[in-house]
Amino acid sequence: MNTSSSTAPGQDKGEARRQQVLDAATGCFRRDGFHGTSIAKICKAAGMSPGHIYHYFDNKEAIVQAIAKREEQNITELARKLQEDESGGSLATRVARQVADSVDRCLDPAYLELQLELAAEAARNPAIRRILRQSDKVVTGEFMALSERVGLPDGMDAAEVELRMNMISAIFNGVMVRGSVGADIDRRQVSRLVEKLVRCLLDDAD
């Protein structure tokens, strides 16, 4: 017990430093792209020496993996909120209630710029592609576990729900792309239409 209390402050400081590196790296990736970002640039943005950076991460790919893990944690939190939603309802209803917040997140410049940059890098970099595919597998697993706990829609098995969840993910990815290249988006109207699509995909099968 004494050991855990004495090491906790150091662990907290280490985690704070680690998050500082990740925040600096995401800013660099957004501004300069993955290829245009060097460890030296991340060091400058984080206000750390290369030795400090390499203490936490072996290379840029390791940093991307940590960024993906952070996103997984965000999704896990969303899944928890969906499960514990006191308003209750079906899987479709619970997911639909989170649409507006999810659209806002997808259209946040800091989020969409990073996600699009990583997706572009994954298309040409097998190491990054493996990292993001593994992260996607974890995220899909979280939502499938949620679906099982809340209850699968009538007439759908787990494979069908997973397919439809992937289509919902594709819709949000499309919102991000549109937000990056299109004119100003009416978020309220986009949320309204995405919510309809979510209900169409996740309501009980005919």
85-111: pLDDT as tens digits: 777 788 999 999 999 999 999 999 989
Assign residue 85 the CATH number of its domain.
1.10.357.10
User: Both 183 and 113 in a single domain?
Assistant: yes
Are residues 82 and 150 in contact, defined by beta-carbon separation less than 8 angstroms? yes
Domain boundary among 34, 57, 80: 57
Instruction: Give the residue-averaged pLDDT of 123-147.
Output: 91
pLDDT: is 122 or 11 the higher one?
A: 122
Instruction: Give the residue-averaged pLDDT of 46-70.
Output: 92
Are residues 18 and 66 in contact, defined by beta-carbon separation less than 8 angstroms? yes
For 17, other C-beta atoms within 10 Å of its C-beta total 16
User: Both 171 and 130 in a single domain?
Assistant: yes
Distance CA 116, CA 58 (A): 24
DSSP string, 49-70: -HHHHHHH-SSHHHHHHHHHHH
Print burial letters for 47-63: b (CB count within 10 Å at least 16), e (below 16).
Answer: ebeeeebeebbeebeeb
Domain boundary among 57, 72, 99: 57
User: Both 70 and 122 in a single domain?
Assistant: yes
User: Both 51 and 28 in a single domain?
Assistant: yes
Please say if the pLDDT value at position 2 is more than 70: no
Residue with tokens 């209750």: 88
Of the chain, the percentage scoring pLDDT greater than 70 comes to 93
User: Both 52 and 91 in a single domain?
Assistant: no
User: Both 33 and 85 in a single domain?
Assistant: no
How does pLDDT run across 158-169, given as a tens digit for each residue? 999 999 999 999
Domain boundary among 9, 28, 57: 57
Task: Specify the number of domains making up the chain.
Answer: 2
Please say if the pLDDT value at position 10 is more than 70: no
For 107, phi and psi rounded to 5 degrees?
-95, 0
User: Both 95 and 185 in a single domain?
Assistant: yes
- State the residue range of the domain holding 27: 1-57
Close Cβ partners of 141 (under 8 Å, ≥ 6 residues apart): none
User: Both 36 and 79 in a single domain?
Assistant: no
Q: Running DSSP on this structure, what letter comes out for residue 107?
A: T
User: Both 50 and 17 in a single domain?
Assistant: yes
Distance CA 199, CA 96 (A): 7
Residue 47: helix, strand or coil by DSSP?
coil
User: Both 87 and 68 in a single domain?
Assistant: yes
Distance CA 27, CA 124 (A): 21
User: Both 44 and 68 in a single domain?
Assistant: no
User: Both 53 and 93 in a single domain?
Assistant: no
Distance CA 180, CA 15 (A): 32
150 confidence band (pLDDT: 50, 70, 90): confident
Assign residue 21 the CATH number of its domain.
1.10.10.60
Residue 183: helix, strand or coil by DSSP?
coil
